[in-house]
Amino acid sequence: MSGRIEVVVADREQAGAEAARRILDRARRGGLRRLGVATGGSAEPVYAALRADADAVALLRETTAYALDEYAGLAADHPDSYRATLMRQYASPMGLSPDRLRVPDGSAADLEAEAARYDAEIAAHGGVDLQILGIGGNGHIAFNEPGAPLDGRTHVQMLSESTRADNARFFESQDEVPTHAITQGIGTIMSADEIVMLAFGAGKAAAVRDALRGPVTPAVPASALQRHARVTLIADGDALALL
């Protein structure tokens, strides 16, 4: 089944509040046991809104959070690992016990086996209930770079130079940005019951246009979302400028 992607125009702060409202509505109806969490700047206002809301903290502490991806080669306690980042921004302030934050182990000796294990863990539940998603300037979702199969499962992915450059701001230098990651595949992401994608700034405008209005193609990983029944894009005017 596919549905029209709903578009909500909002600045960063409003977008965080709107995404948090959707998450809480779902939690209050009893439909949120597993929340898919993204790292990166786009998801930060969502976590800020949730952290600031005592009801959210009370409602979400017994849910489980599933990360989209993790760098390969960084220990879990490395400050730039996605586990450490999501612990700081979401799990710890929300009162989740550490085992309720599920992240692929980027320091596993056999990364492919770890990717398969993580995918099976998500598939065992039929996917997460609601996935918070960002979009890369090149149309990537999670670390599925252009060309990744639209039905792919969790796997080891080599990162493009543009993605490493985008993420260099979180590291001391671009050389320190890992070259590979474990990432949910597009098929894994599509197994979420509901997806809330956030996009801010002119750097996302072409990717947003291609994802929503272009053909569904591996060249634009986010275009797969056109085939999902329940996707909302919450974005600012700059990111929506080319629609």
Catalytic positions: 69, 138, 140, 145
Q: Which is nearer to ligand F6R, 81 or 226 (CB)?
A: 81
Which residues here bind ligand F6R, judged by CB under 6 A? Answer: 38-42, 68-69, 134-136, 140-143
**Nearest approach, Cβ of residue 197 and ligand F6R (Å):** 9
**Nearest approach, Cβ of residue 29 and ligand F6R (Å):** 26
Report CA dihedral (50, 56, 60, 66) to the nearest 10 degrees. Answer: -20
Q: How many other CB atoms sit within 10 Å of the CB of residue 219?
A: 14
Pairing of strands 64-67, 69-71: unpaired
**Nearest approach, Cβ of residue 144 and ligand F6R (Å):** 8
Q: Give me the residue whose beta carbon is nearest to ligand F6R.
A: 134
Single out the residue of 152, 179, 142 nearest to residue 40, CA to CA.
Answer: 142
Residue type, 233: L
120: which residues sit within 8 A by CB, 6+ positions away? none
- The conformation of residue 196, written as its DSSP 8-state character, comes to E
Q: Which is nearer to ligand F6R, 127 or 134 (CB)?
A: 134
- The conformation of residue 4, written as its DSSP 8-state character, comes to P
How far is 8 from 132, CA to CA, in rounded Å? 15
**Nearest approach, Cβ of residue 62 and ligand F6R (Å):** 23
Q: Which is nearer to ligand F6R, 42 or 64 (CB)?
A: 42
